[in-house]
């Protein structure tokens, strides 16, 4: 096998693992119950309007794609994990939204150059392992003058800290893979997009999460539904001491983040970076 073929096979295997990770658990219910409004925030920031061609990259079950369609966009919801589309189709039907669902790798999008007026991603493309390849694809498929919009968890925010908490228990990442929360760092995203974009606007915001009454409830919810958390627990399943340690660490994270300290049960604020830019040229 040549080095090129070996690299292709390694990438195919990595993407298969990513697809399997997001297919387990129940991410659609988590997105609907915990962060239901984030997609609409991104769609509004991008100014999606009737008649625009819109691509949602890493769309999952359509948290941003469905609001974009309801705003009048001609929307393609793309994701590496088509197992998430069933819940998205049902939600779209219930809301009267019409859009197309298509399996796609964010690092090798199956769309022509400059084909979309708006290319957006709500906590989606940030999980592609090779950041520059994914950013290059976002720019490539956006028309000159079109909008690129990204909403990503920050490294220092609650979800970024959750990934840092899980990292010591997870298998080492493959060579070249980068941590997802880096997409929540403005400097990192500006470097990825470079001079191919103009009019960059970036703002840190928070999403208030009131779903969890106790730190233990937060931990158990993510252990049951969130693919990355499930994957880490599976990797240490044969070591009860490490499982117990991760259980404690996630409870400590939830407590430190404010779970259970509010009279209503929760005071979680999850920080994200909202960034929009225009494709140059």
pLDDT of residue 182: 98
Predicted pLDDT of residue 210: 86
What domains, with CATH codes, occur in the chain? Answer: 10-210+265-279 (3.40.50.150)
pLDDT of residue 258: 76
Does the structure show a pLDDT above 90 at 6?
Answer: no
Tell me what pLDDT residue 69 has. Answer: 98
pLDDT-derived band at 263, boundaries 50, 70, 90 = low
As given in the structure block, the two tokens for residue 28 are 């659609």
Hey, what are 139's tokens?
């720019």
Asked if pLDDT for residue 95 goes beyond 80, the answer is yes
- Residue bearing the bigger pLDDT, 35 or 263: 35
**pLDDT value at 57 more than 90:** yes
At 264 the pLDDT is 53
The residue whose two tokens read 């009019």 is: 199
- Alpha-carbon dihedral of residues 177, 180, 185, 189, nearest 10 degrees? 60
The mean pLDDT of 27-50, rounded to a whole number, is 97
**275 in Cβ contact with 202 (< 8 Å):** yes
Rounded CA-CA distance 150/124 in Å is 9
CA separation for the pair 33, 217 (Å, rounded): 14
Which pair of structure tokens corresponds to residue 42? 């991104």
pLDDT value at residue 268: 78
The two three-digit tokens of residue 62, written as one number: 């359509």
pLDDT at res. 242: 98
Q: In whole angstroms, how far apart are CA 208 and each of 34, 186, 257? A: 9, 21, 12
What average pLDDT does the structure give for the chain? 95
Indicate whether 102 pLDDT > 60. yes
Model pLDDT, residue 235: 98
CB 276 within 8 A of CB 127: no
pLDDT band (50, 70, 90) for residue 2: confident
Residues 74-85: pLDDT tens digits?
A: 999 999 999 999
Chain segment 184-231, per-residue pLDDT in tens: 999 999 999 999 999 999 999 999 998 898 999 999 999 999 999 999
Q: What is the pLDDT of residue 257?
A: 83
Strands laid side by side in the 197-209 sheet:
100-103, 74-79, 53-57, 116-122, 142-153, 268-279, 197-209
pLDDT-based confidence at residue 3 (cuts at 50, 70, 90): low
Residue 154 to residues 118, 204, 261, 279: CA-CA distances in angstroms?
23, 8, 23, 23
| pTM, full prediction | 0.95
At 132-185, the pLDDT tens digits run: 999 999 999 999 999 999 999 999 999 999 999 999 999 999 999 999 999 999
pLDDT tens for each residue of 229-252: 999 999 999 999 999 999 999 999
């Amino acid at each position: 096998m040549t080095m090129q073929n070996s690299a292709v096979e390694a990438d195919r295997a990595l993407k298969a693992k990513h697809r399997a990770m997001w297919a387990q658990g129940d991410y659609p219910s988590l997105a609907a119950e915990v962060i239901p409004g984030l997609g609409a925030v991104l769609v509004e920031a991008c100014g999606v309007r009737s008649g625009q061609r819109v691509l949602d990259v890493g769309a999952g079950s359509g948290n941003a794609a469905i609001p974009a369609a309801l705003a009048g966009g001609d929307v393609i919801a793309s994701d590496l994990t088509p197992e998430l589309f069933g819940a998205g189709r049902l939600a779209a039907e219930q809301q009267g939204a019409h859009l197309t669902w298509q399996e796609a790798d964010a690092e090798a999008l199956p769309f022509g150059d400059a084909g979309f007026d708006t290319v957006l991603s709500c906590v989606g493309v940030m999980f592609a392992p090779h950041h520059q390849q994914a950013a290059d694809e976002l720019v490539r498929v956006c028309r000159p003058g079109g909008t690129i919009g990204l909403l990503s968890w920050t490294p220092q925010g609650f979800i970024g800290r959750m990934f840092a908490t899980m990292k010591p228990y997870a298998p080492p990442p493959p060579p070249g893979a980068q941590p997802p929360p880096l997409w929540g760092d403005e400097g990192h995203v500006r470097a990825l997009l470079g001079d191919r974009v103009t009019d960059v606007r970036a703002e840190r915001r928070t999403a208030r999460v009131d779903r969890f009454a106790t730190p233990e409830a937060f931990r158990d919810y993510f252990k049951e539904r969130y693919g990355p958390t499930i994957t880490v627990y599976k990797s240490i399943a044969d070591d009860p001491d490490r499982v117990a340690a991760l259980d404690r660490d996630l409870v400590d994270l939830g407590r430190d983040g404010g779970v259970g300290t509010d009279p209503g049960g929760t005071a979680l604020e999850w920080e994200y970076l909202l960034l929009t830019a225009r494709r140059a040229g």
